[in-house]
Amino acid sequence: PGSDARREILEHARALRLADVIVLNEVDWGMKRTDYRNIAADLAARLGMNYAFGVQFVELSPVYLSKELKQNAETEDELANIIKVDPERYKGFHGIAILSRFPLENARLAPFEHQPYDWYKSEKKGASILEKGRRKLADKVFLEKTLREVRRGGRASLLADIVDERFPGGRVTIAATHLENRTKSAGRVRQLEELLALIKDINN
């Protein structure tokens, strides 16, 4: 209480309460790092909004990395914190969400055809020399350990219609996306071109 961090969080909360539509990336459902909560549902309930959630990935890291992490963990606490999950609560879903004060209809997930990074094969194999360098830098500069993320799925766009008679035509289509970060900009351009082609005939 009274801290700058708390004041900043409350400021963000006030801004969220004023929004009619909120688009979120990196949204967890049933992940240990967010206490196994359904983040989109929790935020929507707290803000009095409707929501749509699209799964991009199912995280498999706790299974595939457990042996490797056991060898590298410095303490038992660190090991437990990294790999031990509650199988009754773990879903491992990770994706995109749209929150709206208006009713949502016709929610649909559109995976990109162009997936320039294979999160399953590449992460299972291990980071490239360049990626290892990036992660080492992140650890030193930002004090942020980047673990491998072995997961199934791929980048996608989540589309949903918000419905209200005050809109021209009675609805507006929201397109939320998360372009691939593990690629050069040309890879993201191809994904963006796919999204633009997907929405070009939508009149809302």
pLDDT of residue 140: 62
Share the mean pLDDT of the chain: 87
Please write the tens of the pLDDT for every residue from 193-202: 999 999 999 9
For residues 156-174, average pLDDT: 96
- Which letter, b or e, does each residue of 107-142 get, where b requires 16 or more Cβ atoms within 10 Å of its Cβ? bebbebeebbeebbebbeeeeeeeeeeebeeeeeee
Pairing relationship of beta strands 93-100 and 21-29 according to DSSP bridges = antiparallel
pLDDT of residue 84: 75
pLDDT of residue 144: 43
Tokens in use for 18?
């004023």
Has residue 75 got a pLDDT over 90? no
Please write the tens of the pLDDT for every residue from 117-140: 999 898 888 756 666 666 566 556
pLDDT of residue 142: 47
Better pLDDT: 180 or 61: 180
Please write the tens of the pLDDT for every residue from 96-106: 999 999 999 99
Has residue 184 got a pLDDT over 80? yes
Has residue 170 got a pLDDT over 90? yes
Q: Give phi and psi for 95, each to the nearest 5.
A: -170, -145
Better pLDDT: 51 or 16: 51
Has residue 88 got a pLDDT over 70? yes
For residues 67-72, average pLDDT: 57
